[in-house]
Amino acid sequence: MINSLFLISHSGDIFLEKHWKSVISRSVCDYFLEAKEKAGDPENVAPVLQTPHHYLISIYRGKLFFLSVTQTEVPPLFVIEFLHRVADTFQDYFGDCSEVVIKENTVTVYELLEEMLDNGFPLATESNVLKEMIRPPTILRSVVNTLTGGSNVGGTLPTGQLSNVPWRRAGVKYTNNEAYFDVIEEIDAILDKSGTTVFAEIQGVVEACVKLTGMPDLTLSFMNPRLLDDVSFHPCVRFKRWESERVLSFIPPDGNFRLMSYHVSSQNLVAIPVYVKQNISFLETGSCGRLDITIGPKQTMGKSVENLTVTIPMPKSVLSVNLTATQGTYTFDLTTKVVLWDVGKLNPQKLPNLRGSISIQTGSPKPEENPSINIGLQIQQLAISGLKVSRLDMYGEKYKPFKGVKYVTKAGKFQVRT
Amino acid sequence: METFWPLFFVCLGEIFELKAELNSDKKEKKKEAVKKVIASMTVGKDVSALFPDVVNCMQTDNLELKKLVYLYLMNYAKSQPDMAIMAVNTFVKDCEDPNPLIRALAVRTMGCIRVDKITEYLCEPLRKCLKDEDPYVRKTAAVCVAKLHDINAQLVEDQGFLDTLKDLISDSNPMVVANAVAALSEIAESHPNSNLLDLNPQTINKLLTALNECTEWGQIFILDCLANYTPRDDRESQSICERVTPRLSHANSAVVLSAVKVLMKFMEMLPKDLDYYGTLLKKLAPPLVTLLSAEPELQYVALRNINLIVQRRPEILKHEMKVFFVKYNDPIYVKLEKLDIMIRLASQANIAQVLAELKEYATEVDVDFVRKAVRAIGRCAIKVEQSAERCVSTLLDLIQTKVNYVVQEAIVVIKDIFRKYPNKYESVIATLCENLDSLDEPEARAAMIWIVGEYAERIDNADELLESFLEGFHDESTQVQLQLLTAIVKLFLKKPTETQELVQQVLSLATQDSDNPDLRDRGYIYWRLLSTDPVAAKEVVLAEKPLISEETDLIEPTLLEELICHIGTLASVYHKPPSAFVEGSRGVQHKRLPGSAGSGESVESPDTGSAAGVSDAPPAVIPSQGDLLGDLLNLDLTPPATTGPPPPATSGMQLGAMDLLGGGLDSLLGGDLGGSSAMGAGFGAPPAAPAASFSAPVSGGLDDLFDLGGGVGMPMGAYSPPKTVWLPAMKGKGLEISGTFARRAGVIQMEMTLTNKAMSVMTDFAIQFNRNSFGLAPAGPLQVLTPLSPNQSIEVTLPLNTVGPVMKMDPLNNLQVAVKNNIDVFYFSCQYPISMLFVEDGKMERQVFLATWKDISNDNEAQFQIKDCHLSSDAASNKLQGSNIFTIAKRTVDGQDMLYQSTKLSNGIWVLAELRVQTGNPTFTVCLKCRAPEVSQCVFQSYEAVLKN
């Protein structure tokens, strides 16, 4: 199981280590740092490395490497999932997961790590449970604690730890009882030069914010559950009822949580909300090129497309660009060679266009690669797959909660080839 | 000392301050002080001096303070074992605390303190906690057994904790069950043969019940444990599968993958005609696809596993090709894995899509990825026959881009396509040849050379192309050198008339000028093949090659089966069995998939992909460059790094080659001479054509200039040619050898000048001759007593005798020599004047001469002319006598002097001669008669050499 954890900044500085079994010298990280050096870009460091005596499994989150060391055969996914959970917890506790914040809160970090893993076995990883044992630092609480002599650490056994609903603590009380659900869909797509869809799929999640008193038992049903053939549920969802009735039946955790994620595969037709007319060309002789991009609405189901952005990583030999945008603003980053065009809202009457010339370092040959165009967008009040929640019922408690569902569609990895 | 951080010294003032605060009676101040201590500890300051003061804070009812003290204890107990004992009492007391959280915390912390004295005190509280009424305490205690086992395994066994732990598998609380399983699995790993996890249908049932109710992590432990169980029959197998399937919808990808492992394994037992089997197959696809939308690190592990699953059961993901399409911002490690899977899934149905994608990838930025994409196109051509044509044209398109590394990769894969589909796509060779100049990578150069050699008859200027590579032969990598050698031999066999010179050139480069044993061996093998039996050479070198098929890197079926049993583990990421990387004595059991149900056979294959792969012969694999050449020759080339004597060989051909190199080397290195002469049996006639390259320069007109000493000082002495360079420094790694032969006072001598032109000192000289026509052999060791410093020369005289092993050489007076020094062994050949062998008692009696002259048939008579010789007959006679050619009689007819002469070789062969000298005519005529006419040519050469000097 997990033996040790090292936190390493993206520049390669090891700034925190924690051992759950015997201590492993930090020199083991040299193997990792070597691989990191080789990979160049920190995102390209392979997540599983083998050294003569240890296995190194790492993730890269928020410009930090979380590197765990194990000595025995262990499921790497288990370790990677756990590391992400650690990063999530830091994010949850400190509002950020960065070197500065972690260094500021080392004692809490140690308390958390000690509580999350015992002898390399996960102990308490649910945010609800952890917060019962170690309270997150807030300015208000530290003031209150000093005045009353109160403690950061819960004195009682976390109720969730052993019950059949480990994700929920007992005795929750609210004056305003409310349950909100956000259906968020991201379109991952690759379009080819001519605009034909090479590949498209939808990654959807149902995020919930449930603040209900007592032990409510909820049932969420959909208008068209047949759409969902590939789903992953929060442990609270009763799988049997989904299998038989296609409804989500669950006792919710308290607060924010991800109820379900789903995947509408490329087998079904995925609506593509915008089209991109583009032409990026470089002259054979080198030294300059042309760029011309127009974006228009395609299948938007009558909704408006907002927060439209276009990102184009240019070849390294590009020196500068001289473009004109009919709408929004564009920037060109000289070091990363990325053109970023912030379009804003898509106006179907007057299509946004970006055009102009590209200049290339003199003497360098015509770029070999074709830059790809990455689109960002948002459509409010629409789940592009067509998924709709029909109703939410509550059992087990008497009061009437406020209910609400919001839909939003975003571009995920939405890429147009040139 | 083990600490969290490299040590910093804390100033004493700070320590005192903290000490005072720790001993304060205010609870709040105490807690803040402990926090400060912990904070110092975590940034690497040494606060171990505060041990007693911190431990004093342990007895508190404040849980946070207690936890902080425990953190401190765990860090410093090991370095302060004596003081750690102070904490034992509190621990033991805490294990009895009414609050289960405190009991659990105490037992958990005790297990983390790796100090023997503490461990002893742990046993009793642990025993109680394992039977605690509160499940939270029990589950913590279960893990503690694993900790204790890590510290002291014997103690755990002696105390019977293992049995208690096994009992916990039947606990009523699912979390306790899960932790007990996890602890037992970890312990079992260090005890491979202990039957700790004794799985039977009852325990399986308990595990399956717990599976539904425990945390995600617990589910992983239970699923991994279930995967080790072998169901009794297909019905049990199906029922387990049914209960595991819901886990495929879990949000935790590790749970999903562990569930996939259980299902992949137990599926083997299900009859393939069962409806449920089909349902299960369908259910496996969506969760695997979902894994690919997770974080890149998770994707990577998932892809490595999918790679295995696709090989075992391609039908699961055959419609999901598109999810493996590479996205622009995928990390490189994800891109490469996706590409691999795309090829595995490529079929006639989707090949168009795949090719379009691959072509797209070939214009990406990342060079490694582009290369792999180009290779992938080639693999598609080999895998899907119908697509071969399209693949080839795609590759040609890519070659047109002229992007250097794209062109090179394309050529490498086209070579494989040629092998797979012979006589189909050779029309593209012309296009390939256009790019010859841009190839700078060895693999691409070798591939191109292979193509030119293989299709030499279709390429008009094949000889020119190959010759152009030959220019920089020594700068090429071994791969290219070997390929070039083979290609030129192929060319020679196909177009023998025009390429004789080329083949000689390459053989000499390979055998004499190279110090690479592989290359030399192969050169000699070709050489011998060509000289002994060109027909056989043709059959061997131009033999039909077996077709290559399918993919380059399918995992071998038994390994694949084992890896399927390890889905989700490190083994599945490395694609190596655990035995290949798990350390030392750790448990290594080879896992096998269970056999299919219903029939007695263990492997049955109603479906295409799975079991069929097991029973079939492993698919042929494209061999790497080196292997390919080995194949062509069907020879087992001696491994390159052999240092000992070569193993006894069986084929005559190899014997010959070995004699030349191995045998000589052997005796050089002190091996027994007898062995090497025995091996010589296989040595046939020396090769005719390439031998030209062996000939040492024959002495010419320049000789006079150098031969001052010999010419003036000893007019009557035996003729000795001037020294010539035998081993140039370039080929001798800095050792230059020039030399000559002389006969002085009846002793044959080899006179050499050794010059060190290298940067380092040379020592340990030794010399050895190959067998030769007259049995010349060193009469003693090579006397180089002092080390030879750089730029130093040394004259060495080596006396020779003629009692060595005999073998006829061509030319007769050829001598192959091996010289060894501390650096290497060098081989060269030289020719000695046969007059060295003329013995002093070579004067025949007149009667005997007359009788012998008549006796030798006229067929054995040879006549030569020596031009431009301005000597009187007497002077000539004198000169010749100095070299042991004796004049027996002289008569003069019509102004022409006829000298009758005799000479005897060291091996007893007599040569009779009639030398006609006409006064005023510089042209002499020599008529030689000998029972062994082969020597005549050499003897004539000696005549000429002696008379002209």
Integer Cα distance of B552 and B619 in angstroms:
9
In the structure encoding, which two tokens stand for residue B798, read together? 């080596």
Domain that includes residue B471, residue range: 441-532
Contacts of B364 in chain A (CB under 8 A): 369
Which of B832, B852, B886 terminates a domain? The answer is B832
B568 interfaces chain A, CB cutoff of 8 Å: yes
Q: Where are the alpha helices (DSSP H) in B401-516?
A: 404-420, 429-434, 442-454, 462-470, 478-494, 500-511
> Does the residue B173 lie in any domain?
no
Residues of chain A in contact with residue B135, where contact means CB-CB under 8 angstroms, are: 162
The answer to whether residue B73 neighbours chain A at the CB level (below 8 Å) is no
Instruction: Over range B28-47, report the average pLDDT.
Output: 81
Domain end (from B439, B458, B477): B439
Pick B499 or A179 by higher pLDDT: A179
Q: What is the CATH number of the domain that holds B748?
A: 2.60.40.1150
Is B500 within a domain?
A: yes
Q: Assess B573–A contact: CB distance below 8 Å, yes or no.
A: yes
pLDDT tens-place string over residues A9-44: 988 899 888 888 888 888 899 999 999 998 888 888
Asked if pLDDT for residue B707 goes beyond 60, the answer is no
**Do strands B896-904 and B886-893 pair parallel, antiparallel, or not at all (unpaired)?**
antiparallel
With beta carbons under 8 A apart, name residues in chain A contacting B251: 232-235, 258, 261
pLDDT of residue B240: 92
* B842 and B933 both lie in a single domain: yes
* Domain shared by B729 and B775, yes or no: yes
Per-residue pLDDT tens over the stretch B383-418: 888 888 889 999 998 888 888 888 899 998 898 888
Q: How confident is the model at residue B191 (pLDDT cuts 50, 70, 90)?
A: confident
Domain positions in chain A: 2-148, 178-270+384-416, 274-380
Task: Indicate if the pLDDT at residue A303 is higher than 80.
Answer: yes
Checking if the pLDDT of B627 tops 50, the result is no
In CATH terms, the fold of domain A2-148 is: Beta-Lactamase (3.30.450)
B44 close contact with A: CB closer than 8 A: no
Min Cα distance A349 → chain B (Å) is: 31
The two three-digit tokens of residue B167, written as one number: 């009992």
Domain contains B897? yes
For the beta sheet containing B886-893, the strands, ordered from the edge strand earlier in sequence to the opposite edge, are B861-866, B924-930, B910-918, B896-904, B886-893
**8 A C-beta contact, residue B327 and residue B279:** no
Q: Is B607 on the interface with A (CB under 8 A)?
A: no
CB–CB contact A121 B143 (8 Å): yes
Q: Do B246 and A240 touch (CB under 8 A)?
A: yes
Share of chain B above pLDDT 70, in %: 84
Is a pLDDT exceeding 60 seen at residue B214?
yes
CB-based contact B38 A110, cutoff 8 Å: yes
* Residues B671-677, mean pLDDT to the nearest whole number: 37
Residues B822 and B848 in one domain: no
Q: Which of B591-605, B701-715, B798-812, B903-917 has the lowest mean pLDDT?
A: B701-715
Q: With a cut of 70, say whether residue B653 has pLDDT above it.
A: no
Give the single-character DSSP code of B660.
I
- Would you tell me which residues 144-173 of chain A have a C-beta closer than 8 angstroms to some C-beta of chain B? 146, 149, 151-157, 161-162, 164, 166
B820 plus B852 within the same structural domain? no
Residues in chain A: 418
Closest-approach residue (CA) in chain B for A19: B4
Write out the H or E segment, with its range, that includes residue A333.
Answer: strand A329-333
Per 3-state DSSP, chain B is made up of helix, strand and coil in percentages (nearest 5) of 55, 10, 35
For residues A84 and A72, the model is more confident at A84
Specify the pLDDT at position B592: 73
Confidence bin at B632 (pLDDT 50/70/90): very low
Q: Which residue of A47, A53, A78 is in closest CB contact with B297? A: A47
**Residues B573, A78: C-beta atoms closer than 8 Å:** no
Q: Which of residues 331-390 of A touch B (CB under 8 A)?
A: 368-370, 372, 374
Neighbouring residues of B52: CB distance < 8 A, sequence distance ≥ 6: B83, B86
Residue B454's pLDDT band (cuts 50, 70, 90): confident
Q: Do domains A178-270+384-416 and A274-380 have the same CATH topology?
A: yes
Report the chain A residue with the minimal C-alpha distance to residue B220: A78
Nearest-CB residue to A21 (from B150, B250, B363): B150
Say what the pLDDT of residue B473 is. Answer: 85
**What is the CATH architecture assignment of A274-380?**
Sandwich (2.60)
In a domain, B166, yes or no: no
Residue numbers in A near B578 (CB within 8 A): 73
Write the CB contacts of B320 (distance below 8 Å, at least 6 apart in sequence).
A265, B285, B288, B289, B345
For A240, which residue in chain B has the nearest alpha carbon? B246
Q: What is the ipTM of this complex?
A: 0.81
Determine, yes or no, domain membership for B728.
yes
* Domain end (from B489, B516, B532): B532
Q: How far apart are CA A3 and CA A312, in angstroms?
A: 42
A370 neighbors A289 (Cβ within 8 angstroms): no
Measured in whole angstroms, the distance separating CA B186 from the mean position of its chain's CA atoms is 36
Residues B481 and B521 in one domain: yes
| SS3 per-residue string spanning B608-676 | CCHHHHHHCCCCCCCCCHHHHHHHHHCCCCCCCCCCCCCCCCCCHHHHHHHHHHHHHHHHHCCCCHHHH
User: Of residues B934 and A182, which shows the higher confidence score?
Assistant: A182
Least confident range from A75-79, A366-370, B913-917: namely A366-370
What per-residue confidence (pLDDT) applies to B12?
Answer: 65
Element (DSSP H or E) covering residue B726:
strand B724-727
pLDDT band at A343 (very low <50, low <70, confident <90, very high): very high
Question: What is the three-class DSSP state of B750?
Answer: strand
pLDDT for A281? 86
B860, B941: one domain = yes
Does residue B678 surpass a pLDDT of 60? no
Residue A268 has what pLDDT? 60
The SS3 call for residue A155 is: coil
Query: Could you tell me if A55 lies within 8 Å of chain B, comparing CB atoms?
Result: yes
Nearest-neighbour CA in chain B from A352: distance (Å)? 24
Q: What is the pLDDT of residue B242?
A: 92
Whether residue B217 and residue A84 make contact (CB cut-off 8 A), yes or no, is no
A199–B325 C-beta distance less than 8 A: yes
Contact A2, B217 (CB under 8 A): no
pLDDT surpasses 80 at B674 = no
| Amino acid B550: pLDDT | 62
Q: Is A263 on the interface with B (CB under 8 A)?
A: yes
Residue B22: per-residue pLDDT: 84
Q: pTM value?
A: 0.68
Q: Give counts: helices (H), strands (E), chain B.
A: 42, 13
Q: Calculate mean pLDDT across residues B549-558.
A: 71
On the question of pLDDT at B664 being above 80, the answer is no
Which of A14-28, A63-77, B101-115 is most confident?
Answer: A63-77
Read off φ and ψ for residue A326, nearest 5 degrees: -75, -15
How distant is the Cα of B35 from the closest Cα of chain A, in angstroms?
7
Q: What is the pLDDT of residues B736-760, one digit of tens each?
A: 888 888 888 788 888 888 888 887 8
According to CATH, what is the number of the domain A178-270+384-416? 2.60.40.1170
Give backbone dihedrals phi and psi of B641, rounded to 5 degrees, phi first: -100, 20
A231 or A161, higher pLDDT: A231
Res. B628: pLDDT tops 50: no
For chain B, how many structural domains are there in total? Answer: 4
Longest Cα–Cα distance in chain B: 144
Task: Give domain status of residue B900, yes or no.
Answer: yes
Measured between CA atoms, the residue of chain A closest to residue B353 is: A198
**Residue A362's pLDDT band (cuts 50, 70, 90):** confident
Pairing verdict, β A178-191 and A402-416: parallel
pLDDT by residue (tens digit) across B70-83? 888 888 887 778 77
Q: Mutating which of A118, A184, A234 best tests the B interface, going by the most B Cβ atoms within 10 A? A: A118
Q: How confident is the model at residue A207 (pLDDT cuts 50, 70, 90)?
A: very high
Say if B327 falls within a structural domain: no
In the numeric block, the tokens 């390919």 are attached to B628
8 Å CB contact between A321 and A357 = yes
Count of pairs with CB atoms under 8 A, one residue in A, one in B? 229
pLDDT band at B729 (very low <50, low <70, confident <90, very high): confident
Q: Tell me, yes or no, whether B783 and B877 share the same domain.
A: no
> Does B186 reach chain A within 8 Å, measured CB to CB?
yes
Burial class (CB in 10 A: 0-12, 13-18, 19+), B708: exposed
Of A70-74, B336-340, B542-546, B860-864, the least confident? B542-546
Contact criterion met (CB < 8 Å) for B286 and A44: no
Q: What is the pLDDT of residues B346-367, one digit of tens each?
A: 988 899 889 989 988 888 878 8
Residue B806 within any structural domain of the chain: yes
DSSP for B364-377, please give it: SS-HHHHHHHHHHH
Considering only the beta carbons, identify the residue of A151, A240, A372 that sits closest to B64: A151
B67–A111 CB contact, under 8 Å: yes
- The helix or strand, by DSSP H or E, that contains position A173, with its residue range, turns out to be none
Mean pLDDT of the residues in chain B? 79
Question: Where would I find the H helices in A40-187?
Answer: 76-94, 99-104, 106-116, 127-133, 139-148
In this structure, the answer to whether residues B789 and B844 fall within a common structural domain is no
Stretch B776-780: mean pLDDT = 86
CB B305 within 8 A of CB A75: no
DSSP 3-state assignment of A357? Answer: strand
User: Given A78, A126, A229, which is nearest B286 (Cβ)?
Assistant: A229
Report CB contact under 8 Å: B286, A230: yes
